[in-house]
């Protein structure tokens, strides 16, 4: 099992040798080019992706505007989760922003794992809970915190984003104007040189 994926899963459960073997039978790996669409609006999401290498953006369309809701790097999970969990068409686009290597499970493979042991069910439940808590926390931050506070929190928690995604995409994630983001970055010498 890829070491970073093993470390991620180990945050939630300890797999037995048999469980790890079955997991590896179902785990698939794909390499993607930059700007490759993994999930589009209207698709039925069938995958949960774990980023081994690369950068991925998740966004939706508001009229003609692209609104970024997730920027992810190595060690993160990405999926159009509502579509994956409920079987409704995706409202989101998931796109690679640089050449990427992704490990993934299909929905049917995940169901097979759940049927195999309660430990896999526990893994799924705890990962989903972790996702939900993180998403709700950032939804609240975007609604309640002032723009500069949103910027500072993102810089503290995900500093790697600033060298890997465009200013436009990071500004969209923070729900601020790109010019505002540029102004904040100029106040922080350690982020200079990461503009793109």
- Cross-strand bridge partners of residue 66: 61
Residue 99 confidence (pLDDT) above 80 = yes
Given this model, what pLDDT does residue 191 score? 42
With beta carbons less than 8 A apart as the criterion, state whether 144 and 136 touch: no
With beta carbons less than 8 A apart as the criterion, state whether 75 and 52 touch: no
Q: Show the 3-state SS of 181-192.
A: HHHHHHCCHHHC
pLDDT digits (tens, 9 = 90+) for 55-76: 999 999 999 899 999 999 999 9
Sheet with 77-78, strands from edge to edge, namely 28-32, 100-106, 47-53, 77-78
pLDDT digits (tens, 9 = 90+) for 120-167: 999 999 999 999 999 999 999 989 999 999 999 999 999 999 989 999
Angstrom distance (rounded) from CA 55 to CA 190: 21
Given this model, what pLDDT does residue 3 score? 87
- In this prediction, residue 189 has a pLDDT band, given cuts at 50, 70 and 90, of low
- In this prediction, residue 1 has a pLDDT band, given cuts at 50, 70 and 90, of confident
Given this model, what pLDDT does residue 90 score? 98
Annotate 134-168 with b (16+ C-beta within 10 A) or e (fewer).
eeeebeebeeebebeebbeebbeebeebbebbebe
Helix, strand, or coil (residue 50): strand
């Amino acid at each position: 099992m890829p070491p970073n994926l093993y470390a991620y899963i180990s945050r939630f459960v300890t797999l037995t040798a048999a469980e790890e073997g079955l997991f590896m039978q179902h785990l698939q790996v794909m390499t993607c080019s930059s700007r490759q669409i993994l999930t589009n609006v209207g698709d039925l999401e069938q995958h949960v992706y774990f980023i081994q290498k690369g950068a991925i953006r998740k966004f939706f369309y508001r009229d003609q505007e692209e609104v970024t809701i997730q920027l992810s790097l190595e060690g993160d999970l990405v999926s159009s989760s509502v579509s994956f969990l409920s079987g409704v068409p995706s409202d989101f686009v998931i796109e690679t922003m640089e050449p990427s290597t992704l490990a993934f499970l299909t929905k049917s493979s995940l169901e097979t794992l759940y049927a195999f042991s309660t430990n896999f069910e526990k893994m799924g439940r705890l990962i989903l809970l972790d996702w939900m808590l993180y998403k709700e926390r950032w939804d609240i931050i975007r609604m309640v915190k002032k723009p500069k506070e949103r910027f500072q929190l993102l810089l503290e928690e995900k500093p790697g984003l600033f060298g890997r995604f465009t200013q436009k995409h990071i500004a969209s994630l923070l729900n601020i104007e790109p010019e505002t983001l540029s102004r904040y970055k100029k106040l922080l010498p350690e982020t200079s040189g990461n503009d793109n």
